[in-house]
Structure 1
Amino acid sequence: MRSGKRDDGSTAIIVANGNYPRHPLPLSVIEQAPYIVCCDGAANHFIEAGGSPDAIVGDCDSISFENRIRFADRIFPDGEQESNDLTKSVRFCLERGRKNIVIVAGTGLREDHTLGNISLLADYQVEANVKMITDYGIFTPIRSRTTFHSFAGEQVSLFSIDRKPITTTGLKYPIVNRVLDNWWQGTLNESLGDSFTVDSCGKVIVFQVFGC
């Protein structure tokens, strides 16, 4: 299932407990991953699909007895109740110097978990270079002027986490020094070319939809 690539110690793929990906891009990310961390509840499915995680992190109360025995040397229980298993997994990676993090299977199933996982990207970016890849696109958190590689017609949505002005260039519907009061206000935009720029000192999450 995984061919892997050379592990430089800085990168990790986190498999969360949402819908397991079917799109070729997130699947290829898993296939090439140098180091894979499974959130507690995701481990059983990942292992059943033929995967072999390097670490399993979380409450660790959802792992099957068989997998608990088989992977005993790579289970890292964290019973802290103030954060979810995804945050525990991110913290686990950061503590080991793995600051380049890609999250897969972070959406789907329960909508409250999906919204929570997406919004947490804004917190993770303070310490990590992080993004979330789904079956439909890529979520990237930013907190300063950032230029994104794109293509004409790419669907783009912006989600403002705090009330800070946003200015964009290279999008079909420009945003000029505007505070977005609700998540829907920055959605359903479109790239005009091979790049676009989002400028804000606040926490913004940018979603780019895969091309056909």
Structure 2
Amino acid sequence: MKLYPLAEADITASAVIVANGNFPVHPVPLSFLKNKIPVVCCDGAVRKLLTIGRMPTVIVGDCDSLSEKEKLQYASIIHKISEQDTNDLTKAVRYCLAQGWKDLIILGATGRREDHTIANISLLADYIDIAGEVWMLSDYGVMNAIREDATFESYPGQQVSIFSIEKKPMSCEHLKYGFENVVFTNWWQATLNESLGKIFTLHVSGKTIVYRTFKDIS
């Protein structure tokens, strides 16, 4: 059974993707931008990344968020993808996979427009088919997609929300509000749960997104 550590622990990743949502200020997501692994920036997020003195390895997207001056300034690291069948986050993920970078951390995918936030979170359920381990971090917590039984490192009182994507039976261990072989039919139904200890376990048979809060977030 796969074990997912706390995001505060060392997570091995091949690359970090910075999307154009709310740029992180929490020390946990920011810490991954201090590593020496490649940083793939969705085009409009480059300005935010530069505010912390980090130059992206590559800028990926349709470049509609860049000024003409920026397109010239960063021409050597721009990888333009004009097709509109996917959003910039998925373009960045596919770019990473083409480089052989399969274990990914995604920052800046939430906040600002709610439709972008919902779409980006839901994409975790697609990335599980094409990538390795994908972690999506905000200033409040971390999200992972699973499709088989998994155990998560936790702490007593950690807030946990579970989103059933494929509406298949699901059970849990060590959560305050327990459930066994339940089919959740709407995203809200397994949210706002709470961990009882240092781990909790989910038994799933379909794609599921799991959210855990950081320890210092109420």
TM-score by length of 2: 0.90
What secondary structure sits across from 1:31 in the alignment?
coil
- Equivalent AA in structure 2 for residue 73 of structure 1: S
Map of 1:30 onto structure 2: 33
Map of 1:208 onto structure 2: 212
| 2:56 is the counterpart of 1:20 | no
Q: Given that residues 44 and 67 in structure 1 are in contact (C-alpha distance below 8 angstroms), is that contact kept between their aligned partners in structure 2?
A: no
Structure 2 vs 1, CA of residues 171 and 87 (structure 1 numbering), >3 Å: closer, same or farther? same
Structure 2 vs 1, CA of residues 21 and 74 (structure 1 numbering), >3 Å: closer, same or farther? same
- Of 129, 132, 137, which residue of structure 1 is paired with 2:141? 137
Percent of paired sites with the same residue: 50
How much is the aligned-residue C-alpha RMSD, in angstroms? 1.4
| 2:102 is the counterpart of 1:80 | no
Unmatched 5+ stretches in structure 1: 1-7
Bigger shift: 41-50 or 84-93?
A: 41-50
TM-score by length of 1: 0.92
| 2:128 is the counterpart of 1:125 | yes
- Of 161, 170, 178, which residue of structure 1 is paired with 2:182? 178
Shift of 1:22: 0.9
Shift of 1:48: 4.0
Tell me, in whole angstroms, the C-alpha distance in 1 between the residues paired with 2:213 and 2:51. Answer: 29
Structure number with greater CO (CA < 8 Å, separation at least 6) is: 2
Q: Deviations over 1:113-146 (max 9, x none)?
A: 0000000001001122101000000001000000
- Equivalent AA in structure 1 for residue 188 of structure 2: W
Which aligned segments of 4 or more residues in structure 1 are displaced greater than 3 angstroms? none
Map of 1:196 onto structure 2: 200
Q: Aligned residues, how many?
A: 204
